[in-house]
Amino acid sequence: MKELNYIKLEFPSKSSNEGFARSAAAAFAAQLDPTMEEMGDIRTAVSEAVTNAIVHAYPDSIGRISMRLRILEGDTLEISIRDWGRGIENVQQAMEPLYTTGGEERSGMGFTIMGSFMDKLKVRSVPDKGTTVTMQKYICPRYRHR
């Protein structure tokens, strides 16, 4: 699909940046005129992806997280969250509901939540090299001024 617009942000893996990432994604997505429900889906998915990177990629240190958002032809928003942290040993297992490496306080539902709020979810990871989560959401077209 052809790219119509994009942004890329990079920030430290501090929990205080999760809210910023969620707001930035919502502000960028606004150009597609999403419904409130679609906007909530986007915010939730970004929140889960960024929180996963903060908690799991860099459990004992502050690393960097990159967020790229693209508007693609066909009213599609693509969001990629990338880290250069410890990676995921077994992506298929990590995507199972309730599986977590984050201890008792983690629900193990991050990927499940992302997948339920977005139309496509792809996770690529290499141990000790990092993880990239790419999500797509189709935004139902409404009347727009362009």
Q: DSSP 3-state assignment of 75?
A: coil
Starting from the edge strand earliest in sequence, which strands make up the sheet with 120-126, in order? Answer: 3-12, 64-72, 76-83, 130-138, 120-126
Q: Return the HEC string of 41-62.
A: HHHHHHHHHHHHHHHHHCCCCC
Considering the candidates 18, 22, 52, 86, report the single residue annotated as catalytic.
Answer: 52
Residue of 64, 68, 106, 124 with catalytic role: 106
Q: How many residues does the chain have?
A: 146
Residues 52 and 110 sit within 8 Å (Cβ to Cβ): yes
Could you confirm whether 52 is annotated as catalytic?
Answer: yes
Q: Is 37 a catalytic residue?
A: no
Interstrand relation of 76-83 and 130-138 (parallel, antiparallel or unpaired): antiparallel
Catalytic residue among 22, 38, 43, 48: 48
- Rounded to 5 degrees, φ, ψ at 56 are -95, -35
Q: Residue 78 pairs with which residues in a beta bridge?
A: 70, 136
* 90 catalytic per annotation: no
Catalytic residue annotation:
48, 52, 106
